[in-house]
Protein backbone atom coordinates (compact mmCIF):
# COMPACT_ATOMS: atom_id res chain seq x y z
CA UNK A 1 0.00 0.00 0.00
CA UNK A 2 1.13 3.54 -0.71
CA UNK A 3 1.30 5.96 2.18
CA UNK A 4 0.37 8.81 -0.15
CA UNK A 5 -1.40 9.09 -3.47
CA UNK A 6 -0.41 12.47 -4.87
CA UNK A 7 -2.55 13.88 -7.65
CA UNK A 8 -0.66 16.13 -10.09
CA UNK A 9 3.04 16.06 -10.94
CA UNK A 10 3.57 19.84 -11.10
CA UNK A 11 5.65 21.87 -8.64
CA UNK A 12 3.18 21.29 -5.80
CA UNK A 13 2.86 17.52 -6.20
CA UNK A 14 6.50 16.86 -7.05
CA UNK A 15 7.87 18.88 -4.13
CA UNK A 16 5.68 17.23 -1.53
CA UNK A 17 6.33 13.80 -3.09
CA UNK A 18 10.07 14.32 -2.81
CA UNK A 19 9.90 15.49 0.82
CA UNK A 20 7.60 12.66 1.90
CA UNK A 21 9.80 10.06 0.19
CA UNK A 22 13.29 11.37 0.86
CA UNK A 23 12.81 12.97 4.27
CA UNK A 24 9.76 11.12 5.59
CA UNK A 25 10.61 7.65 4.25
CA UNK A 26 7.07 7.29 2.86
CA UNK A 27 5.96 5.24 -0.14
CA UNK A 28 4.45 7.62 -2.63
CA UNK A 29 2.52 7.26 -5.86
CA UNK A 30 2.22 10.42 -7.92
CA UNK A 31 -0.23 10.42 -10.81
CA UNK A 32 -0.98 12.92 -13.54
CA UNK A 33 -3.62 12.81 -16.24
CA UNK A 34 -1.23 14.42 -18.68
CA UNK A 35 1.33 12.25 -20.47
CA UNK A 36 4.24 14.03 -18.76
CA UNK A 37 5.57 15.30 -15.44
CA UNK A 38 6.31 18.96 -14.50
CA UNK A 39 2.73 20.31 -14.76
CA UNK A 40 2.51 23.67 -16.45
CA UNK A 41 6.27 24.09 -16.24
CA UNK A 42 6.81 21.18 -18.66
CA UNK A 43 9.38 21.87 -21.37
CA UNK A 44 10.55 19.71 -24.27
CA UNK A 45 12.49 19.86 -27.54
CA UNK A 46 10.21 20.60 -30.50
CA UNK A 47 10.47 19.02 -33.97
CA UNK A 48 13.37 21.34 -34.85
CA UNK A 49 15.26 20.62 -31.63
CA UNK A 50 14.43 23.89 -29.88
CA UNK A 51 13.61 23.78 -26.17
CA UNK A 52 10.09 25.18 -25.67
CA UNK A 53 7.66 25.52 -22.77
CA UNK A 54 4.47 23.71 -23.76
CA UNK A 55 2.23 25.79 -21.49
CA UNK A 56 3.76 29.22 -22.09
CA UNK A 57 6.94 30.88 -20.85
CA UNK A 58 7.95 30.04 -17.28
CA UNK A 59 10.54 32.29 -15.69
CA UNK A 60 11.84 31.36 -12.28
CA UNK A 61 12.24 34.22 -9.82
CA UNK A 62 12.09 34.30 -6.05
CA UNK A 63 13.16 36.16 -2.96
CA UNK A 64 12.90 32.97 -0.89
CA UNK A 65 16.36 31.62 -0.22
CA UNK A 66 14.86 28.40 1.16
CA UNK A 67 13.03 27.70 -2.10
CA UNK A 68 16.07 28.50 -4.22
CA UNK A 69 18.28 26.27 -2.04
CA UNK A 70 15.76 23.45 -2.12
CA UNK A 71 15.45 23.42 -5.93
CA UNK A 72 19.23 23.81 -6.31
CA UNK A 73 19.54 20.22 -5.12
CA UNK A 74 17.98 19.11 -8.39
CA UNK A 75 19.36 21.47 -10.99
CA UNK A 76 22.15 23.80 -11.91
CA UNK A 77 21.00 27.24 -12.94
CA UNK A 78 21.52 29.73 -15.69
CA UNK A 79 21.34 33.38 -14.59
CA UNK A 80 18.55 35.09 -16.48
CA UNK A 81 17.04 38.57 -16.13
CA UNK A 82 13.69 38.76 -17.86
CA UNK A 83 12.77 41.76 -20.01
CA UNK A 84 9.47 42.63 -21.67
CA UNK A 85 8.62 45.17 -24.37
CA UNK A 86 5.13 46.42 -25.18
CA UNK A 87 4.00 47.32 -28.69
CA UNK A 88 2.37 50.73 -28.26
CA UNK A 89 1.68 53.29 -31.00
CA UNK A 90 4.15 51.62 -33.35
CA UNK A 91 7.02 51.55 -30.84
CA UNK A 92 8.40 48.77 -28.66
CA UNK A 93 8.62 50.23 -25.16
CA UNK A 94 9.87 48.70 -21.88
CA UNK A 95 7.38 47.39 -19.32
CA UNK A 96 6.99 47.81 -16.40
CA UNK A 97 6.67 51.48 -17.29
CA UNK A 98 9.91 53.28 -16.46
CA UNK A 99 11.72 56.51 -17.31
CA UNK A 100 12.63 55.35 -20.83
CA UNK A 101 9.06 54.21 -21.52
CA UNK A 102 7.62 57.65 -20.85
CA UNK A 103 10.45 59.59 -22.50
CA UNK A 104 10.35 57.52 -25.67
CA UNK A 105 6.59 57.49 -25.85
CA UNK A 106 6.20 61.26 -25.57
CA UNK A 107 9.58 62.28 -27.08
CA UNK A 108 10.64 63.80 -23.75
CA UNK A 109 13.92 63.95 -21.81
CA UNK A 110 12.55 63.87 -18.25
CA UNK A 111 14.79 63.03 -15.30
CA UNK A 112 13.64 60.58 -12.61
CA UNK A 113 12.63 63.48 -10.39
CA UNK A 114 10.65 65.09 -13.21
CA UNK A 115 8.96 61.79 -13.99
CA UNK A 116 7.70 61.58 -10.41
CA UNK A 117 6.16 65.01 -10.87
CA UNK A 118 4.75 63.89 -14.24
CA UNK A 119 3.03 60.88 -12.66
CA UNK A 120 1.68 63.10 -9.88
CA UNK A 121 0.23 65.48 -12.48
CA UNK A 122 -1.53 62.74 -14.49
CA UNK A 123 -2.56 60.36 -11.66
CA UNK A 124 -6.30 60.35 -10.91
CA UNK A 125 -7.28 60.60 -7.27
CA UNK A 126 -9.15 57.45 -6.19
CA UNK A 127 -10.64 57.45 -2.71
CA UNK A 128 -10.74 53.72 -2.17
CA UNK A 129 -8.72 51.38 -4.38
CA UNK A 130 -10.96 48.43 -5.17
CA UNK A 131 -10.43 47.46 -8.79
CA UNK A 132 -7.46 46.93 -11.10
CA UNK A 133 -8.41 50.12 -12.94
CA UNK A 134 -8.23 52.07 -9.65
CA UNK A 135 -4.71 50.76 -9.03
CA UNK A 136 -3.35 51.90 -12.37
CA UNK A 137 -5.13 55.21 -12.95
CA UNK A 138 -4.20 56.31 -9.43
CA UNK A 139 -0.53 55.64 -10.24
CA UNK A 140 -0.01 56.69 -13.87
CA UNK A 141 -3.23 58.34 -15.04
CA UNK A 142 -5.74 57.42 -17.71
CA UNK A 143 -3.68 57.72 -20.90
CA UNK A 144 -0.95 55.27 -19.89
CA UNK A 145 -3.64 53.04 -18.42
CA UNK A 146 -5.46 52.96 -21.76
CA UNK A 147 -2.31 52.35 -23.79
CA UNK A 148 -0.57 49.76 -21.64
CA UNK A 149 -3.12 48.08 -19.38
CA UNK A 150 -6.77 48.33 -20.32
CA UNK A 151 -6.95 46.23 -23.46
CA UNK A 152 -4.22 43.84 -22.32
CA UNK A 153 -6.23 43.09 -19.21
CA UNK A 154 -9.45 42.77 -21.22
CA UNK A 155 -7.80 40.26 -23.54
CA UNK A 156 -6.11 38.39 -20.70
CA UNK A 157 -9.10 38.10 -18.38
CA UNK A 158 -12.11 38.70 -20.64
CA UNK A 159 -13.10 41.41 -18.15
CA UNK A 160 -12.57 45.12 -17.97
CA UNK A 161 -10.03 46.16 -15.29
CA UNK A 162 -12.89 48.00 -13.58
CA UNK A 163 -14.47 44.57 -12.95
CA UNK A 164 -11.32 42.91 -11.64
CA UNK A 165 -10.03 42.78 -8.10
CA UNK A 166 -7.24 45.26 -7.31
CA UNK A 167 -5.01 42.27 -6.47
CA UNK A 168 -4.48 41.51 -10.18
CA UNK A 169 -2.49 44.68 -10.81
CA UNK A 170 -1.55 45.62 -7.24
CA UNK A 171 1.91 44.20 -7.74
CA UNK A 172 2.52 45.88 -11.12
CA UNK A 173 5.42 48.23 -10.45
CA UNK A 174 5.89 51.64 -12.01
CA UNK A 175 9.45 52.90 -11.97
CA UNK A 176 10.94 56.34 -12.20
CA UNK A 177 14.43 55.00 -12.96
CA UNK A 178 15.71 53.18 -16.07
CA UNK A 179 15.56 49.65 -14.61
CA UNK A 180 13.97 47.63 -17.43
CA UNK A 181 14.05 44.23 -15.72
CA UNK A 182 10.64 42.63 -15.45
CA UNK A 183 11.39 41.20 -11.99
CA UNK A 184 13.60 42.50 -9.21
CA UNK A 185 13.75 39.33 -7.09
CA UNK A 186 17.03 38.27 -5.49
CA UNK A 187 17.15 35.00 -7.42
CA UNK A 188 16.36 35.14 -11.14
CA UNK A 189 17.47 31.96 -12.83
CA UNK A 190 16.40 29.27 -15.25
CA UNK A 191 17.12 25.55 -14.78
CA UNK A 192 20.22 24.95 -16.88
CA UNK A 193 18.87 21.85 -18.62
CA UNK A 194 15.21 22.79 -18.44
CA UNK A 195 12.31 22.23 -16.04
CA UNK A 196 11.49 18.67 -17.08
CA UNK A 197 15.04 17.50 -16.38
CA UNK A 198 14.81 19.13 -12.95
CA UNK A 199 11.50 17.35 -12.26
CA UNK A 200 13.01 14.01 -13.30
CA UNK A 201 15.54 14.49 -10.53
CA UNK A 202 12.97 15.70 -7.98
CA UNK A 203 10.92 12.57 -8.64
CA UNK A 204 13.95 10.27 -8.92
CA UNK A 205 13.78 8.87 -5.37
CA UNK A 206 13.19 5.09 -5.29
CA UNK A 207 10.20 5.50 -2.92
CA UNK A 208 8.35 7.52 -5.59
CA UNK A 209 6.42 5.80 -8.35
CA UNK A 210 5.07 7.90 -11.20
CA UNK A 211 1.87 7.07 -13.09
CA UNK A 212 1.10 9.18 -16.17
CA UNK A 213 -2.04 9.37 -18.34
CA UNK A 214 -3.87 8.53 -15.12
CA UNK A 215 -6.78 10.60 -13.85
CA UNK A 216 -7.37 10.39 -10.11
CA UNK A 217 -11.04 9.55 -10.65
CA UNK A 218 -10.12 6.52 -12.76
CA UNK A 219 -7.47 5.08 -10.47
CA UNK A 220 -8.40 6.01 -6.92
CA UNK A 221 -10.44 2.87 -6.30
CA UNK A 222 -7.79 0.59 -7.76
CA UNK A 223 -4.76 1.69 -5.84
CA UNK A 224 -4.52 1.03 -2.11
CA UNK A 225 -3.31 4.15 -0.40
CA UNK A 226 -3.63 5.92 2.88
CA UNK A 227 -3.77 9.70 2.40
CA UNK A 228 -4.30 11.85 -0.69
CA UNK A 229 -2.60 15.07 -1.64
CA UNK A 230 -4.66 16.72 -4.33
CA UNK A 231 -3.16 19.43 -6.53
CA UNK A 232 -5.88 19.42 -9.20
CA UNK A 233 -8.87 21.79 -9.18
CA UNK A 234 -10.52 21.71 -5.73
CA UNK A 235 -14.04 22.08 -7.19
CA UNK A 236 -13.41 19.07 -9.44
CA UNK A 237 -12.45 16.94 -6.41
CA UNK A 238 -15.91 17.63 -4.93
CA UNK A 239 -17.67 17.00 -8.27
CA UNK A 240 -18.53 20.71 -8.53
CA UNK A 241 -21.21 20.23 -5.88
CA UNK A 242 -21.14 23.91 -4.87
CA UNK A 243 -20.74 25.15 -8.46
CA UNK A 244 -17.76 25.68 -10.75
CA UNK A 245 -14.84 27.90 -9.82
CA UNK A 246 -14.11 30.01 -12.91
CA UNK A 247 -10.71 29.84 -14.59
CA UNK A 248 -9.16 31.67 -17.50
CA UNK A 249 -7.49 29.54 -20.13
CA UNK A 250 -4.99 30.05 -22.94
CA UNK A 251 -4.39 28.78 -26.45
CA UNK A 252 -0.76 28.53 -27.48
CA UNK A 253 0.32 28.79 -31.09
CA UNK A 254 3.92 27.81 -31.75
CA UNK A 255 5.84 29.01 -34.78
CA UNK A 256 9.36 28.08 -35.83
CA UNK A 257 11.19 30.50 -38.11
CA UNK A 258 14.22 29.95 -40.25
CA UNK A 259 16.18 32.81 -38.64
CA UNK A 260 18.50 32.90 -35.64
CA UNK A 261 16.63 35.71 -33.86
CA UNK A 262 13.05 36.80 -34.63
CA UNK A 263 12.24 39.63 -32.22
CA UNK A 264 14.30 42.17 -30.24
CA UNK A 265 13.56 40.71 -26.80
CA UNK A 266 12.26 37.62 -24.97
CA UNK A 267 8.64 38.78 -24.72
CA UNK A 268 6.64 41.37 -26.62
CA UNK A 269 3.26 42.32 -25.17
CA UNK A 270 0.50 43.46 -27.49
CA UNK A 271 -1.78 45.57 -25.30
CA UNK A 272 -3.85 46.92 -28.20
CA UNK A 273 -3.38 45.45 -31.68
CA UNK A 274 -3.69 41.75 -32.50
CA UNK A 275 -5.80 39.03 -30.94
CA UNK A 276 -2.84 37.55 -29.05
CA UNK A 277 -1.65 39.03 -25.78
CA UNK A 278 2.06 38.35 -26.05
CA UNK A 279 4.76 36.60 -28.08
CA UNK A 280 7.71 34.82 -26.49
CA UNK A 281 10.93 33.76 -28.19
CA UNK A 282 12.24 30.82 -26.17
CA UNK A 283 15.94 30.99 -26.97
CA UNK A 284 16.27 34.17 -24.90
CA UNK A 285 14.95 32.27 -21.88
CA UNK A 286 16.86 29.06 -22.35
CA UNK A 287 20.11 30.43 -23.77
CA UNK A 288 20.03 27.74 -26.44
CA UNK A 289 22.05 28.32 -29.60
CA UNK A 290 20.31 27.18 -32.77
CA UNK A 291 20.10 28.40 -36.37
CA UNK A 292 16.28 28.46 -36.15
CA UNK A 293 14.04 29.96 -33.50
CA UNK A 294 10.62 29.14 -32.01
CA UNK A 295 8.04 31.64 -30.82
CA UNK A 296 4.78 31.13 -28.98
CA UNK A 297 1.71 33.33 -29.41
CA UNK A 298 -0.72 33.38 -26.50
CA UNK A 299 -4.46 33.79 -26.95
CA UNK A 300 -6.50 34.06 -23.78
CA UNK A 301 -9.85 32.26 -23.77
CA UNK A 302 -12.66 31.13 -21.50
CA UNK A 303 -12.67 27.41 -22.35
CA UNK A 304 -9.80 24.96 -21.97
CA UNK A 305 -7.30 23.86 -19.34
CA UNK A 306 -7.74 25.75 -16.06
CA UNK A 307 -4.76 28.11 -15.85
CA UNK A 308 -5.64 31.27 -13.98
CA UNK A 309 -8.08 31.42 -11.05
CA UNK A 310 -10.12 34.58 -11.73
CA UNK A 311 -9.73 36.98 -8.81
CA UNK A 312 -13.22 38.35 -8.21
CA UNK A 313 -14.92 38.61 -4.82
CA UNK A 314 -17.70 36.15 -5.69
CA UNK A 315 -15.11 33.55 -6.77
CA UNK A 316 -13.19 34.03 -3.54
CA UNK A 317 -16.45 33.49 -1.64
CA UNK A 318 -17.18 30.28 -3.54
CA UNK A 319 -13.64 29.05 -2.97
CA UNK A 320 -14.04 29.73 0.75
CA UNK A 321 -16.98 27.31 0.80
CA UNK A 322 -14.88 24.65 -0.94
CA UNK A 323 -12.10 25.38 1.53
CA UNK A 324 -14.49 24.66 4.40
CA UNK A 325 -15.49 21.41 2.73
CA UNK A 326 -11.82 20.53 2.24
CA UNK A 327 -11.08 21.19 5.91
CA UNK A 328 -13.68 18.62 6.91
CA UNK A 329 -12.47 15.94 4.49
CA UNK A 330 -10.14 13.68 6.45
CA UNK A 331 -7.08 12.18 4.81
CA UNK A 332 -6.97 14.65 1.91
CA UNK A 333 -4.71 17.71 1.65
CA UNK A 334 -5.25 20.34 -1.04
CA UNK A 335 -2.26 22.08 -2.48
CA UNK A 336 -1.02 24.21 -5.37
CA UNK A 337 -2.52 26.73 -7.74
CA UNK A 338 -5.59 24.67 -8.55
CA UNK A 339 -5.95 22.95 -5.19
CA UNK A 340 -6.09 26.26 -3.33
CA UNK A 341 -7.53 28.41 -6.17
CA UNK A 342 -4.80 31.00 -5.92
CA UNK A 343 -2.68 32.78 -8.52
CA UNK A 344 0.65 31.44 -7.25
CA UNK A 345 4.01 31.58 -8.97
CA UNK A 346 6.23 28.50 -9.05
CA UNK A 347 8.31 29.53 -6.05
CA UNK A 348 5.19 30.20 -3.96
CA UNK A 349 3.85 26.75 -4.77
CA UNK A 350 7.15 25.15 -3.74
CA UNK A 351 7.05 27.15 -0.48
CA UNK A 352 3.46 26.05 0.11
CA UNK A 353 4.42 22.39 -0.44
CA UNK A 354 7.42 22.62 1.88
CA UNK A 355 5.20 24.15 4.57
CA UNK A 356 2.59 21.42 4.17
CA UNK A 357 5.31 18.80 4.47
CA UNK A 358 6.52 20.32 7.73
CA UNK A 359 2.95 20.21 9.05
CA UNK A 360 2.44 16.61 7.97
CA UNK A 361 5.78 15.55 9.46
CA UNK A 362 4.70 17.00 12.80
CA UNK A 363 1.30 15.25 12.81
CA UNK A 364 0.88 11.99 14.72
CA UNK A 365 0.83 9.28 12.02
CA UNK A 366 -2.54 7.74 11.26
CA UNK A 367 -3.16 4.01 11.35
CA UNK A 368 -1.77 2.52 8.12
CA UNK A 369 -4.51 -0.08 7.94
CA UNK A 370 -7.06 2.62 7.04
CA UNK A 371 -7.18 2.11 3.29
CA UNK A 372 -8.95 4.91 1.48
CA UNK A 373 -10.47 4.17 -1.88
User: In this complex, which beta carbon is closest to ligand FAD, that of residue 235 or of residue 347?
Assistant: 347
- Minimum separation from the CB atom of position 30 to ligand FAD (A): 9
Provide, rounded to whole angstroms, the least separation between the CB of residue 125 and ligand FAD: 34
Interaction site with ligand FAD (CB under 6 A):
7-13, 31-34, 39-41, 55-59, 215-217, 231-232, 250, 307, 336-338, 344-347, 349
Residue whose C-alpha is closest to residue 99's, from 78, 76, 119: 119
To ligand FAD, the closest distance from the beta carbon of 314 in angstroms equals 22
Q: Which is nearer to ligand FAD, 119 or 252 (CB)?
A: 252
DSSP string, 1-53: -EEEEEE--SHHHHHHHHIIIIIT---EEEE-SSSSSSGGG-EEE-TTS-EEE
Q: Which is nearer to ligand FAD, 26 or 34 (CB)?
A: 34
The smaller minimum CB distance to ligand FAD, of residues 69 and 116, is found at 69
CA distance 190 to 161: 31
Minimum distance from residue 21 beta carbon to ligand FAD (Å) = 17
Q: Which is nearer to ligand FAD, 28 or 349 (CB)?
A: 349
For the bound state, the minimum distance from the C-beta of residue 12 to ligand FAD, rounded and expressed in Å, comes to 3
User: What is the distance between the alpha carbons of residues 123 and 137, in angstroms, rounded to a whole number?
Assistant: 6
Q: How far is the CB of 212 from ligand FAD (least distance, A)?
A: 9
Instruction: Report the residue number, 145 or 270, with the smaller CB distance to ligand FAD.
Output: 270
| DSSP H or E segment with residue 257 | strand 247-257
**CB distance 20 to 360 below 8 Å:** yes
**How would DSSP label each residue in 101-170?**
HHHHHHT----HHHHHHHHHHHPPP-SS--BHHHHHHHHHHHHHIIIIIIHHHHHHHSS-GGGSBTHHHH
To ligand FAD, the closest distance from the beta carbon of 149 in angstroms equals 18
Tell me whether residue 58 or residue 139 sits nearer to ligand FAD (CB atom).
Answer: 58
Closest by Cα among 57, 59, 96 to 80: 59
Number of CB atoms found within 10 A of residue 111's CB: 11
Q: Is the dihedral of CA 52, 53, 58, 64 positive or negative?
A: negative
Amino acid sequence: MFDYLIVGAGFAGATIAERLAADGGKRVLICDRRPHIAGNAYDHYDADGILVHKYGPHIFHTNARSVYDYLSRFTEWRPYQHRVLASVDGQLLPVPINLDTVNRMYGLTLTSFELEKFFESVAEPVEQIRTSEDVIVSKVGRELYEKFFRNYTRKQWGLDPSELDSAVTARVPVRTNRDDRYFTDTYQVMPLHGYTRMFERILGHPNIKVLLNADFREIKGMIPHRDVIFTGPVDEYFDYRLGRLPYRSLNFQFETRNVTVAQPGPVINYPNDNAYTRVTEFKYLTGQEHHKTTLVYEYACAEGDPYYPIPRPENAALYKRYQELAATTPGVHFLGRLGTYKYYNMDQVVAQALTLYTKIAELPQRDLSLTTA
